[in-house]
Structure 1
Amino acid sequence: MRRLALTVPTLLFVACAALPPAPPPLPAAAPAAPAAEAVVVPNPNLVLQDIPPIPAALAQQVARYTDFRGHGFLEWHPTRREMLVTHRKAGGSTTQLFRVTAPMAEPEALTDFSEPVRVASWEPQRGEYLVFERSNGGDEADQVYRLDVADRQVTLLTDPTERHEIQGWLHKSSQLLVGSVPLDRTAQGGSREKIRQTLTLIDPANPGQRRKLAELPGTGWGVGGVSWDDRRVALTRYISATESQLWLLDLRNGKTRQLLPAPGSKRKASFLAAGFKRDNSGIWLVTDRHGEFRQLALYDLGRRRLLPVSRHVAWDVDQIGASRDGRLLAAQVNVDGRSEVRLFDARSRKERPAPALPPGGVRALGFHPQAGELAFSLDSAKGPGEVWSLDPNAAKGAAPVQWTRALAAPGVDPQAFGDQQIVRWKSFDGRGISGLLSLPPERFGGKRPVLIDIHGGPEGQAEVGFMGRYNHFVEDLGIAIVQPNVRGSSGYGKTFLALDNGMKREDSVKDIGALLDWIATQPRLDASRVVVSGGSYGGYMSLAVAATYPQRIAGAIDVVGISNFVTFLRNTESYRRDLRRVEYGDERDPAMRAFLERISPLTNASRITRPLLVVQGRNDPRVPYTEAEQIVEKVRANGTPVWYLRAENEGHGFRRKENADFQFYVTTLFLQQTLLK
Structure 2
Amino acid sequence: MAQSFAFDFTKLNYTTPNDKIRAVGVPDVPQRILDGLKKYEDSSRGYDAYGFEHNSHNGRGTILVDHRPEDAQVAKVYRMPVDPASGELEKITYFDLGTGRVISSITPIKGDDWRGTLRSGGAIMGMDVDGKEFFQFWRMWEDSESETVIPHIDGELDNKPSTIRIERLTHDDSIRFTSLLPSQTEDFFLFSSTEDGPAEWHVYMTRLTDSKTDLSSSSTAAFDLPRTRITAKATNGRVHWDASSVSLDNKYVLLTDIKGETYRPLYVLDISDPAALPAQPERLILPGATEREEETSHSWISFSPDAATPHLVYIITDAYGDFRSTLVFDLDSRTVLRHITASEPSLNAIRAIPWNIKRHVVLKDMLYMIANIDGQNAHYVMPISGAHKHEVIDVKFDGDGADSSSFYPSFNGKNGRAYEICYRLASYRSSGGLAYADLGPALERVQTDSEGKSFIVVTLKLYKQAQPVAPAFKTVPPKVIKFKSFDGLEVPFVYYHPCEGKKRVPVNIEIHGGPSWQSTSLRKSRIHGYLINELECAVLYPNVRGSIGYGRKYMMADDVYLREDSVKDIGAFIDYIGEHMKDELDAGKIFVSGESYGGFMTFACLTHYSNKLACGLATCGIADWVTFLSNTAAHRQDNRRHEYGDETDPDVRAFLQRISPASNADKITAPLWIAHGDNDTRVPFEQAYFMYDSCVKRGIHAELIACVNEGHGFNQKSVLEYVSGSKILFLERFFAKGSAV
Q: Is the TM-score greater than 0.5?
A: yes
CA gap of 1:363–1:399, structure 2 versus 1, over 3 A, is closer
CA distance in 1, matches of 2:468, 2:80: 19
Query: Using the alignment, how far apart are the partners of 1:404 and 1:621 within structure 2?
Result: 38
Q: What is the letter of the counterpart of residue 322 of structure 2?
A: E
- 1:632-651 map, 5 Å: 632-651=692-711
- The answer to whether residue 334 in structure 2 is matched with residue 304 in structure 1 is yes
Output the CA distance in 2 between the equivalents of 1:229 and 1:576.
33
Q: Choose the corresponding residue for 1:210, options 214, 227, 244.
A: 227
1:15-58 superposed Cα distances (whole Å, 9 cap, x missing partner):
xxxxxxxxxxxxxxxxxxxxxxxxx9721221111111111121
Aligned counterparts, 1:543-562, within 5 A:
543-562=603-622
Question: Would you say 1:371 and 2:357 are equivalent positions?
Answer: no
Q: Deviations over 1:521-553 (max 9, x none)?
A: 311111111110011111101100000111000
Report how far residue 266 of structure 1 moved: 5.6
**Aligned in 2, Cα 1:363/1:607: closer, same or farther, shift over 3 Å?**
farther
* CA–CA distance in structure 2, aligned partners of residues 664 and 221 of structure 1: 38
* SS of residue paired to 2:532: helix
- Residues of 2 paired with 1:456 and 1:173: CA distance? 36
Change (3 A) 1:574 1:404: farther
- Name the amino acid aligned to 1:371: R
* C-alpha distance 409-308 of structure 1, shift in aligned 2 (>3 A): closer
Q: SS in structure 2 opposite 1:393?
A: helix
- Taking structure 1 as reference, are residues 605 and 469 closer, same or farther at Cα in structure 2, changes over 3 Å only? closer
Matched, 1:201 2:259: no
2:79 is paired with a residue of what secondary structure? Answer: strand
Residue 488 of structure 1 corresponds to 546
Asked if the contact 1:441–1:475 (Cα under 8 Å) also holds between the matched residues in 2, the reply is: no
Matches within 5 A, 1:62-73: 62-68=37-43, 69-73=45-49
- Indicate if the aligned counterparts of 2:191 and 2:243 stay in contact, CA closer than 8 A: no
Shift of 1:216: 5.4
How has the CA–CA distance of structure 1 residues 527 and 645 changed in structure 2, closer, same or farther, with 3 Å as cutoff?
Answer: same
Describe the SS at the equivalent of 1:320: strand
1:231 aligned residue (227, 230, 251): 251
Tell me, yes or no, if structure 1 residue 274 matches structure 2 residue 331. no
Aligned 8 A contact 2:188 2:205 in 1: no
1:321 corresponds in structure 2 to: 361
Does 2:22 correspond to 1:47?
yes
Amino acid at match of 1:267: E
* Distance in 2 of aligned mates of 1:445 and 1:433: 24
Change (3 A) 1:209 1:44: closer
CA distance in 2, matches of 1:195, 1:670: 43
Judged with a 3 Å threshold, the aligned counterparts in structure 2 of structure 1 residues 630 and 177 are, in CA distance, closer, same or farther, namely same
- Indicate conservation of the 8 Å contact 1:235/1:273, yes or no: no
State the distance in 1 between where 2:353 and 2:684 align: 40
> 421-430 vs 268-277, which deviates more?
268-277
Q: Which has the larger radius of gyration?
A: 1
Q: Match of 2:152?
A: none
Q: 1:254 to 1:474 in 2, by over 3 A?
A: farther
Post-superposition Cα deviations, 1:68-107, rounded to whole Å, max 9, x if no partner, equal 2211122112342421121112311212221111316232
Structure 1 equivalent of residue 570 of structure 2:
512
Deviation at 1:446, TM superposition (A): 3.8
Q: Report the alpha carbon displacement of residue 375 of structure 1 after superposing the two structures with TM.
A: 2.5
Q: Which residue of 2 aligns with 1:12?
A: none
Structure 2 CA distance for aligned equivalents of residues 158 and 392 of structure 1: 39
Partner of 1:131: 124
Counterpart check, 1:254 vs 2:274: no
Q: Per-residue CA shift, 1:484-527, capped at 9, x if unaligned? A: 00000000000101000010111100100111012113111111
Residue 474 of structure 1: aligned partner: 532
| Aligned residue in 2 for 1:19 | none
Equivalent in the alignment of 2:722: 662
> C-alpha offsets along residues 613-658 of structure 1, whole Å, 9 cap, x if unaligned?
0110011111111111111112222211010001121000111111
Deviating more after overlay: 491-500 vs 516-525 = 516-525
Bigger Cα displacement from structure 2, 122-131 vs 475-484: 122-131
Measured at CA, do residues 460 and 495 of structure 1 come closer, stay the same or move farther in structure 2, by a change above 3 Å? same
1:464 alignment counterpart: 521
Report the CA distance between 1:196 and its aligned residue: 4.5
Which piece of structure 1 moves more, 619-628 or 395-404? 395-404
Gaps of 5+ in 2: 1-14, 112-118, 144-162, 214-222, 343-351, 446-456
* Number of aligned residue pairs: 625
Taking a change above 3 Å as real, the CA distance of residues 567 and 352 of structure 1, as seen in their structure-2 partners, is same
Deviation at residue 360 of structure 1 after TM alignment: 2.5
Summarize the Cα distance change of 1:559–1:95 in structure 2 as closer, same or farther, 3 Å threshold.
same
**Does the 8 Å CA contact 2:495/2:541 hold for their aligned counterparts?**
yes
Give the 3 Å change call, closer, same or farther, for CA 398–60 of structure 1 in structure 2: closer
Q: TM-score, with normalisation over the residues of structure 2?
A: 0.80
Q: Measure the CA separation in 1 of the matches of 2:285 and 2:76.
A: 38
AA partner of residue 301 (structure 2): A
Whole-angstrom distance in 2 between the partners of 1:353 and 1:493 = 22
> What is the DSSP-based 3-state SS (H/G/I as helix, E as strand, rest coil) of the residue aligned with 2:395?
coil
- Kept in 1, the 8 Å contact 2:616–2:671? The answer is yes
In structure 1, what residue type is equivalent to 2:84?
A: P
Whether the 8 Å contact between 2:329 and 2:335 is mirrored in structure 1 is yes
Match of 2:521, SS state, is coil
- Whether the 8 Å CA contact 2:424–2:432 is kept in 1: the answer is yes
Unaligned runs of 5+ in 1: 1-39
Q: Provide the TM-score with structure 1 as the length reference.
A: 0.88
For residues 478 and 48 of structure 1, the distance between their equivalents in structure 2, rounded to whole angstroms, comes to 28
Partner-residue secondary structure (3-state), 1:377 = strand
Do the aligned residues in 2 keep the contact of 1:85 with 1:97 (CA within 8 Å)?
yes
Give distance in 1, aligned partners of 2:16 and 2:40. Answer: 19
Cα deviation code 1:344-395 (max 9, x no counterpart):
1235433023232512233632321111213321210011111223222214
From the superposition, tell whether residues 439 and 263 of structure 1 become closer, same or farther in structure 2 (CA, over 3 Å).
closer
Local SS of the residue matching 1:538: helix
Greater shift after overlay, 171-180 or 546-555?
171-180
Residue of structure 2 in register with 1:498 after alignment = 556
- Alignment of 1:625 onto 2:685: yes
1:454 correspondence with 2:511: yes
Distance in 2 between residues matched to 1:92 and 1:212, nearest whole Å:
39
1:342 aligned to 2:380? yes
CA RMSD of aligned residues (A): 2.4
125-134 or 589-598: which moved more?
125-134
Compared with structure 1, are the counterparts of its residues 226 and 216 closer, same or farther at alpha carbon in structure 2 (3 Å cutoff)?
farther
**Match of residue 668 from structure 2:** 608
- The CA distance in 1 between the partners of 2:508 and 2:317, in whole Å, is 35
Residues 322 and 367 in structure 1, CA contact (< 8 A), matched pair in contact too: no
Of 475, 479, 488, which residue of structure 2 is paired with 1:430?
Answer: 488
Counterpart among 25, 50, 67 of residue 74 in structure 1: 50
Distance across 2 between alignment mates of 1:450 and 1:671: 12
Give the alignment partner of residue 119 of structure 1, picking from 88, 105, 130. 105
Contact 1:201 1:212 in 2 (8 A): no
The answer to whether the 8 Å contact 1:386/1:405 transfers is: no
Q: 2: CA distance between counterparts of 1:361 and 1:221?
A: 34
**Aligned pair in 2 of structure 1 residues 196, 335: CA closer, same or farther (>3 Å)?**
closer
Q: Does 1:583 align with 2:583?
A: no
Matches within 5 A, 1:22-41: none
Task: Indicate the residue corresponding to 2:146 in structure 1.
Answer: none
Match of 1:154 in 2: 166
Identity of matched residues, %: 27
Match of 1:417 in 2: 475
- 1:331: Cα distance to partner? 1.2
Deviation at residue 143 of structure 1 after TM alignment: 0.2
- More displaced 10-residue stretch of structure 1: 57-66 or 348-357: 348-357
